[in-house]
Amino acid sequence: MDGIDALLDTHDSIGLAALVRDGEVGARELVEAAIARIEERNPALNAVIATRYDAALAEADTVDRSAPLAGVPFLVKDLNCDVAGLPSTRGSRLFADVVATEDCELTRRFKAAGLIILGNTNTPEFGKNASTEPVLHGPTHNPWDLDRSPGGSSGGSAAAVAGGMVTAAHANDGGGSIRIPASECGLVGLKPTRGRTPTWPIPASFAYPVGVGNCVTRTVRDSAAILDAIAGPLPGDPFPAPPAPPTGSFLGAVEQEPGRLRIGFSTVLPNGEPVHPAGITAIERTAAVLSALGHEVGEGMPDWDRRMSALVVTSAMGINGARMVEDRLAELGRPLADDDLEVFSREMHERALQQTGIDLHRAL
């Protein structure tokens, strides 16, 4: 097992799948190694909040070895990506006892690609926070410094990948929920174009159509391969994405020469606050690398109304989230209790109840 365990450090998801495809390692062996790591490391990180080990081992035994990501252990964020048999709490006490009864479309595509889902990862309530510390499941810790946050809202997934439990994990993003934790945990995190990946059949997706599903990974090619596996519209999708790259795949595009790119960066946050000195150092180091590669790199700030993004996000998230909460209360047959929602979620919910369909239409 020691040799198999080391593969989780030396190989990315594509590399692990190649070993499974060539018969050099079994999918069950990889899953067992990932399970052992979760059991060993999760108590310190609190990244994983529910598991399905028996089902995962059974799926590993029957996985199609020709699948692009065959046998690769994987985790799914506990928000808007249901996995049959796993909790679907959305990080909220209001949904604490909800268990998914069927796989959502994104989960089906993960499984079709050969990924073996081991469990759910932590998320702030409804994904409405840039730090993953819900009252329901407690805070997730950053593997690089346990006294710090991994960011959010995909902080559980990011901590699990950065902590070496798995090589990739599901994440989604409405206002930074892939990009923030990827940045804070040293990972690759891409928010795809709206409509690139499916959100349905999950009803009342809280940030729909602002939120987009994808993943966090350790390598660019892994992110491309997973996006290849899950991209594509469903009939009725209101926001179809542009066509795939001319290469026919995102993984193929990774190998293409991009030409000289014009790249901008900012050392000031959108609200005008300065970036932490350590962040500026990282930005400047990255800018120097990109410049050395021949790209045009310069500092700049988009000319935009900084209030607009906040308005869009709070309206889209707030109104759709209010519908989700109201639907849940209707199922329970009771009004909202004092301890159902955290303070921020309750405030957003109460504001949303005062908004109109016109407000939502403007935001979208």
Check if the beta carbon of residue 100 is closer than 8 Å to that of residue 107. Answer: no
**Cα–Cα distance, 153 to 175 (Å, whole number):** 9
Name which of 135, 136, 133 is nearest 148 in CA terms: 133
Q: Which residues contact 223 (CB under 8 A, 6 or more apart)?
A: 168, 188, 189, 190, 214, 215, 217
- For this structure, is 266 an active site residue? no
**Cα–Cα distance, 364 to 357 (Å, whole number):** 11
* Catalytic hit among 88, 92, 131, 177: 177
* Catalytic hit among 153, 157, 205, 345: 153
| Residue carrying structure tokens 């065959």 | 70
Check if the beta carbon of residue 206 is closer than 8 Å to that of residue 177. Answer: no
Could you tell me the end-to-end alpha-carbon distance of the chain, in angstroms, rounded to an integer? 50
How many CB atoms are closer than 10 A to CB 225? 25
| DSSP 8-state class, residue 339 | T
- For this structure, is 128 an active site residue? no
Here the tokens at position 82 are: 């249901």
Q: Which residues pair with 265 in a beta bridge?
A: 299
HSE of 55, CA atoms in CB hemisphere, 13 A:
14
Q: Write down how long the chain is.
A: 364
| Residue carrying structure tokens 């300065």 | 274
- For this structure, is 77 an active site residue? yes
* Catalytic hit among 13, 77, 128, 345: 77
Query: Catalytic residue numbers?
Result: 77, 153, 177
